[in-house]
């Protein structure tokens, strides 16, 4: 069955640095992959979607890459700010057509 | 637009009691979903619906029932609550296409079963 692995350890970085989060998946290669942000006590919020034929996608300070050979997506936040502190979830469609989510990586940006 | 709303926000039940969680969306989305989120487990799909009057099982459907009598509403029922159903429940909706399935989530319901 499809599995998604995100680094379960929290990522702590200094304000202004680039945060890089990793999402690895096994088995079935999805047609697209999504990233969501979740703040404590709230539901996930969609950030970016990248398709299998796209190597990279950008939105303001966010950048996502998708390597179908490595079965990996990287999520970058440049010039990070304390307001970027949250948990970031990777999600992809499994072979049954359902969206499945990784456990998420908690990002903490210190001033 | 309110987006996706969920009621109640919090609930405490005793083992064996029943309850219904209500989800409403005002985006005219065909697809709706119920997830549970537990520490270290991520979001797991309980049931989903591809349109009014339809429902289907997700990854962890046991102990739950759902109904979609109106397009904008998706109800999740627990007939006989168990402590293992203590969790945070999220509802989501989407306008699904071949190219994407971006989901819009509600604020969640925190349920404790004693």
Task: Give the residue ranges of chain A where pLDDT is below 70.
Answer: none
Alpha helices in B1-114 (DSSP H): none
**Using the beta-carbon criterion (under 8 Å), do B108 and A43 form an inter-chain contact?**
yes
Sole residue written with tokens 């989530």: B105
> Which whole number is the average pLDDT over B68-84?
96
For an interface test with A, which of B9, B24, B42 has the most A Cβ atoms less than 10 Å from its Cβ? B42
Q: B60 and chain A: CB distance < 8 Å anywhere?
A: no
Mean pLDDT of B48-60: 94
Does position B18 have pLDDT exceeding 80, yes or no? yes
Residue B2 confidence (pLDDT):
83
Cβ of A34 within 8 Å of Cβ of B106? The answer is no
| Partner residue opposite A101 with nearest CB, options B42, B48, B102 | B42
Task: Note the pLDDT of residue B38.
Answer: 94
Size of interface A-B (CB pairs under 8 A): 48
**N-terminal to C-terminal alpha carbon distance within chain B:** 36
C-alpha B92/C-alpha B78 separation (Å) is 18
State the smallest CA–CA distance between residue B3 and chain A in angstroms: 12
Burial A59-92 (b: 16+ CB within 10 A, else e): eeebbbbbeeeebbbebbbeebeeebbbbbbbbb
CB B93 within 8 A of CB B27: yes
Mean pLDDT for B9-18 is 97
Mean pLDDT throughout B18-34?
Answer: 96
pLDDT classification of B20: cutoffs 50, 70, 90: very high
Q: Is B102 in CB contact (< 8 Å) with chain A?
A: yes
% of chain B surpassing 70 pLDDT: 99
What are A38's two structure tokens? 């979740």
The count of other CB atoms within 10 Å of the CB of residue A105 is 21
Task: With CB atoms and an 8 Å threshold, state whether B107 touches A51.
Answer: no
pLDDT score of B104 more than 90: yes
- A65's CB contacts (< 8 A; 6+ apart) are A50, A55, A56, A57, A73, A74, A76
């Amino acid at each position: 069955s499809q599995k998604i692995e995100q680094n379960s350890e929290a990522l702590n970085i200094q304000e202004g640095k680039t945060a890089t989060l990793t999402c690895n998946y096994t088995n079935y290669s999805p047609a697209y992959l999504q990233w969501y942000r979740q703040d404590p006590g709230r539901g996930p919020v969609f950030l970016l979607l990248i398709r299998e034929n796209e190597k990279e996608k950008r939105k303001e300070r966010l950048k996502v890459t998708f390597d179908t050979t490595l079965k990996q997506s990287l999520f970058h936040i440049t010039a990070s700010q304390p307001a970027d502190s949250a948990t970031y979830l990777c999600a992809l469609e499994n072979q049954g057509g359902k969206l499945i989510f990784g456990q998420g990586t908690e990002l903490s940006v210190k001033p | 637009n309110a987006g996706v709303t969920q009621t109640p926000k919090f609930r405490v039940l005793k083992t064996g009691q029943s309850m219904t969680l209500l989800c409403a969306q005002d985006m005219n989305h065909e697809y709706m979903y119920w997830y549970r989120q537990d520490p270290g487990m991520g979001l797991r799909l309980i049931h989903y619906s591809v349109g009014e009057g339809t429902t289907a099982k997700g990854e962890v459907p046991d102990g739950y029932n759902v109904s979609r009598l109106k397009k904008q509403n998706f109800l999740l029922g627990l007939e006989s609550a168990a402590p293992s159903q203590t969790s945070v429940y999220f509802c989501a909706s989407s306008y699904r296409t071949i190219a994407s399935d971006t989901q819009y989530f509600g604020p969640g319901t925190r349920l404790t079963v004693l």
